[in-house]
Amino acid sequence: MVTTLRQLLDDLTDRAGARPAVAAIEDVSGALAHLGRALSGLAEDGLTPGDSHRQRNVTALAAACTTAGRLWPHSGGPLTDLAGAAADLIGLDRSVMGRSHRWAATVEVAEVADHCARLGRRLLPEAAAPELDVVRQLAVTIERDAQADPPTGADSVVLDRLVPLPGPPSGEAEVTVLDAAAGLLAALDRAQRADDLTLRDFRAAVAAAELTSRYAAVAAGMTGRDAGPLLVAGLAWQHAGRASMVFHDGRRGAHDDRGGVVASSQALVRALRNEVGAPADIGEQHDRRTAADAAAAVQQVASHMPVLADHLTMAVERWSRTGQLFANARDLPRMEAMPQDRIEAVIAGRHVRASGADLDGLRQVVGRAADLSTGLADVLHRAAGTGPRAQQHRTDRRDRGTKVPGNAERVLSRAHAVDRESEGIRVLHAPRQIPPSR
């Protein structure tokens, strides 16, 4: 089964809060050591632009957890294993986290550290190991800060980043939609870490996002909601794919793409079709699965579309900086002070390197699609009564009032703006001296 950082931390909290306590103090100490390692990395990368109370408090909590983790020799155990896995995931994602993402992760880790320290206090005599009390005091300070400035829904997507199975499933037919979504996100991670994301990969992931949004709209319709307004997210991703057709990167697709972005995107679409059926066959869904089953399956995948959108947005930003894409000069946005060489390229219809403002149109369309996907996920979860995300906190945990930027219906209503803006993007219906990206 796939998992997420949030699930690991939730499992750790469950075990730490179990009564009667079944963990050994050595296991608690090992878990705190790993949580200290995670917090140290988050604090080192920075939680605020400069020195601040938040930065100092997190650094102090990391040190307190590390100190408490040295009190007993580590003998291993479920708490240690879960905390170690969570710390490893945070370490792997450090390169793609911004300050707001790090704050979201810090809030969760601090709460888990509080639960572990509380368990340690229950296992020991009252006056023993005052280091555990220090952990609890600092964790409470951070939780109070989080109540005043809670992470937004967009910031918290890092907690729901799917972790795929260590190996491929035994048979293609056994791939679930969550496994397939995890595989696609992992493939995007690998490609971006290696700076090897091609335009063909980008288009495949955009197509997967479009079809996932359409399946999610079908699922909403099957549960009694109007599917029409939700289809605009799929329409926005369709516009993003069309806008990308202006560009090329001169690269051909790999002959063996197994495990790559293209193959993973295709696997996700196959899994969605197996779960729900073709998007056009809304009336036939009940012959395959119950509406509730299909809606639940697609809802889980739709909740991870903002993570996929994050990858695609970062790809456009990277191309904007590096100038790795090319386009016919006539198809690029107008420039107020167009240099002489660009004027000559427009007149001759030559291809030029695209960078900076040349990608503004693509950047805007992808950004709108990302906003709509976030709104789509929120609408689906509120309709199902499960909160803003699939991997939502358990109901017994405190509700910090997670802020989602804007009302979902308002975000979705921006589809008309997407349509209007897309008319300003020149789409090539017949390529003009543009070698295809395969």
Does one domain contain both 103 and 225? no
Long-range contacts (CB closer than 8 Å, 24 or more residues apart) made by 264-268: 264/180, 264/183, 264/184, 264/186, 264/187, 265/184, 265/204, 265/205, 265/207, 265/208, 266/204, 267/172, 267/175, 267/180, 267/183, 267/184, 268/177, 268/180, 268/181, 268/183, 268/184, 268/208, 268/212, 268/301
CA of residue 317 relative to chain centroid, distance: 17
Alpha-carbon span 156 to 403, nearest angstrom: 10
259-272 residue pLDDT tens? 789 998 988 888 88
Does one domain contain both 139 and 204? no
Does one domain contain both 131 and 192? no
Q: What phi and psi, each to the nearest 5 degrees, are found at residue 304?
A: -100, 0
Number of domains in the chain: 2
* Residue 161 resides in a domain: no
Does one domain contain both 176 and 104? no
Low-confidence ranges of the chain (pLDDT < 70): 1-2, 154, 163-174, 220, 223, 225-230, 252-258, 276-296, 376-438
Does one domain contain both 123 and 69? yes
Containing structural domain, residue 107 = 5-151
pLDDT at 9: 93
Its pTM stands at 0.61
* Residue 271 resides in a domain: yes
129-177 residue pLDDT tens? 999 999 999 999 999 999 999 987 767 777 877 766 455 444 444 577 8
Does one domain contain both 257 and 379? yes
pLDDT at 416: 41
Amino acid in position 93: D
Does one domain contain both 239 and 344? yes
Does one domain contain both 132 and 194? no
Does one domain contain both 314 and 233? yes
* Residue 142 resides in a domain: yes
For the beta sheet containing 247-248, the strands, ordered from the edge strand earlier in sequence to the opposite edge, are 247-248, 325-328, 351-354
* Residue 164 resides in a domain: no
Which residues of 275-394 form beta strands (DSSP E)?
325-328, 351-354
Does one domain contain both 129 and 183? no
* Residue 183 resides in a domain: yes
* Residue 435 resides in a domain: no
Does one domain contain both 286 and 400? yes
The answer to whether 253 touches 437, Cβ cutoff 8 Å, is yes
Alpha-carbon span 116 to 132, nearest angstrom: 9
CB burial class (10 A; 0-12, 13-18, 19+) of residue 376?
A: buried
Alpha-carbon span 160 to 163, nearest angstrom: 9
* Residue 290 resides in a domain: yes
165: three-class secondary structure by DSSP = coil
Greatest Cα-to-Cα distance within the chain, rounded to the nearest angstrom: 83
* Residue 210 resides in a domain: yes
Choose one of 151, 180, 209: the last residue of a domain: 151
Alpha-carbon span 53 to 47, nearest angstrom: 10
pLDDT at 119: 94
Does one domain contain both 117 and 194? no
